[in-house]
Structure 1
Amino acid sequence: MTSTGEDADRLNRCVAAAESGGDLALESFRSELAVDTKRGPMDAVTEVDRAVQRHVFDGLRAEYPDDPVVGEESDASKRVPDDGPAWVVDPIDGTTNYASGNANWVTSVAFCRDGEPVAGANYAPVTGDLYAAGPGRATRNGESASPSTTTDPEAFLVNPLFGTSPDHRRELHAAAGTVLSSFGDLRRFGCAQAALSGVACGELDAAVSTVELHDWDTAAGVCLIREAGGVVTDVHGDRWVPGATGLLASGGAAHDELVASFGPSSD
């Protein structure tokens, strides 16, 4: 059994690590960068990504040497274990934005226990926005976060969450069609954690995906939405967990409409 104090310590560490890593990344923002690619021409990585991840990993391991740390740019495990504690780090979520000088990127740090995100922070250094969540609380810049209460799907602003692989792009094409035919309008930030943070605060009505997403793209944002009072499920409407097929996130008022629209066909 963990204490409230321990949970608060983990949240504080998420915040400190996200802010420290984000400030380090900000030092090189809109400077000349060498940009590499990983799985395709739209899957960018820079030396700043790697440097920020090393910086955050070193800080977490110094304080919690026995805890696994999962990160996007790591050669080690890229999955949150089903049992025990784990940290999840995305040094720059939205690297393509970052490399092109677009301000929409965040540094994300989450803490998971037994596969569930229980604390997390998303820090957007360019705007100074800090989104943080732990048991019973979710905030944006220290103020309580509240998701949208919109009940009319035709008034929904929806952000599709997909990667750049051919399979993801095919699924994105279908999802975008569903948003434009059945919901209000589409937004695509190019930064999953920014979109999930936006759902937690009511800046967006929903974020949706029909494919499995990486743990570092989701853990902190899922924690934010749930602690703010929103709902996050897989495409079947079951509670989302790392490794689930799809992710549907909303304030909850019309979540069944998302499941009906983006879930598997009943045929």
Structure 2
Amino acid sequence: MSDDHHRAALAERAARAGGVVARQQFRGDLAVETKDHKNDLVTEVDRDAQAQVVATIREEFGSDAFVLEEEVVTLSGPETGETDPAVLDEVPETGDAWVVDPIDGTANYIRGMRTWATSVTAIRDGDSVGSATYMPAAGDLFAAGPESATRDGATLAVSDRDDPETFAVAPVGWWDRDDRSEFADLCGAVVERFGDMRRIGSFQATLAFVADGGLDGAICTTPMNPWDTMAGVHMVRQAGGTVTDADGERWRHDSETLVASNGEAHAELLAAADDALDA
């Protein structure tokens, strides 16, 4: 097994391990905390699931770096706030690392809704080589390696629709209260140009659904985090889809916008993003 295939397989195993931790507390009593604002939520389960993902990966790649959604401290120094030196603030441009979102869709998780995921991506030199999005409450594991993408072992393929008026497209991202007009502009652009709109509540689940053909596209016109995007972007591409920024340039982990599609009418999604940004 090549190193890339090994890492892709480990991404699946680590996502399952973290997802099992989260599933055990799903619809249970949760102590909910806020981070940057009242709708930016976290629970102890997020941190426990993340710790399980990291521990699973470190069994095989003990010196690799991590980019994590939730803050961590060393086992020996929580009182001093000493940070783990292998946890990075941003995706490195060189070397091997792992990007982890222990519960993508925490708001759904807290509300008892089934659409949430544990997401793990193995990256090399800034690009994904293997990724997994495990949705324990729904019972699905989406995964992508160096050459393929699957859902529960079956090959993934984006939809073959080519008429935008039949597309289901999801706006994704988060806007502060003062910027909600930008969200409204994006929703308006989507409903004007496409057949239907979905709002899933989990960025990684949304991208997995594009890869699986359930959605025909997704648009984000606001800056995003790598743990919300990198796994799903890799899946969409491996499933035959297209992912760019709003200017049509190849999407990277540091892009400020994202447009994902089945590739059949990508220009129409770019036009919708342009409508929203120019409104």
TM-score by length of 2: 0.91
2:136 to 115, 125, 131: 125
Amino acid at match of 1:183: F
For residues 154 and 162 of structure 1, the distance between their equivalents in structure 2, rounded to whole angstroms, comes to 23
4+ residue runs over 6 A deviation: 264-267
- Residue in 1 aligned with 2:221? 210
Q: Does residue 106 of the first structure (1) align with residue 117 of the second (2)?
A: yes
- Residue in 1 aligned with 2:270? 259
Q: Does residue 62 of the first structure (1) align with residue 73 of the second (2)?
A: no
Q: Does residue 35 of the first structure (1) align with residue 32 of the second (2)?
A: yes
Amino acid at match of 1:52: A
The answer on whether the counterparts of 1:107 and 1:124 sit within 8 Å (CA) in structure 2 is: yes
Question: For the structure 1 residues 174 and 8, does the alpha-carbon distance in structure 2 shift closer, same or farther, using more than 3 Å as the test?
Answer: same
Instruction: Please list, as runs of the form range in 1=range in 2, the aligned pairs for 1:110-259 lying within 5 A after superposition.
Output: 110-166=121-177, 169-259=180-270
- Residue in 1 aligned with 2:75? none
The answer on whether the counterparts of 1:162 and 1:168 sit within 8 Å (CA) in structure 2 is: no
Question: For the structure 1 residues 192 and 167, does the alpha-carbon distance in structure 2 shift closer, same or farther, using more than 3 Å as the test?
Answer: farther
For residues 159 and 56 of structure 2, the distance between their equivalents in structure 1, rounded to whole angstroms, comes to 35
Q: Which 10-residue stretch deviates more, 245-254 or 67-76?
A: 67-76
For residues 27 and 164 of structure 1, the distance between their equivalents in structure 2, rounded to whole angstroms, comes to 31
For residues 247 and 46 of structure 2, the distance between their equivalents in structure 1, rounded to whole angstroms, comes to 34
Question: For the structure 1 residues 168 and 120, does the alpha-carbon distance in structure 2 shift closer, same or farther, using more than 3 Å as the test?
Answer: farther
- Residue in 2 aligned with 1:9? 6
For residues 8 and 253 of structure 1, the distance between their equivalents in structure 2, rounded to whole angstroms, comes to 29
- Structure 1 residue runs without a partner (length 5+): none
- Residue in 2 aligned with 1:88? 99
The answer on whether the counterparts of 2:174 and 2:222 sit within 8 Å (CA) in structure 1 is: no
RMSD across aligned C-alpha pairs, in angstroms?
A: 1.7
For residues 37 and 8 of structure 2, the distance between their equivalents in structure 1, rounded to whole angstroms, comes to 34
Question: For the structure 1 residues 168 and 119, does the alpha-carbon distance in structure 2 shift closer, same or farther, using more than 3 Å as the test?
Answer: farther
2:46 to 35, 44, 49: 49
Aligned residues: 264
- For residues 39-73 of structure 1, what are the alpha-carbon distances to aligned partners after superposition, in whole Å with 9 as ceiling and x for unaligned? 11111100000111111112222321221111100
Identity of aligned residues (%): 45
Structure 1 residue 168 displacement after superposition:
5.8
Question: For the structure 1 residues 167 and 210, does the alpha-carbon distance in structure 2 shift closer, same or farther, using more than 3 Å as the test?
Answer: farther
- Structure 2 residue runs without a partner (length 5+): 73-86
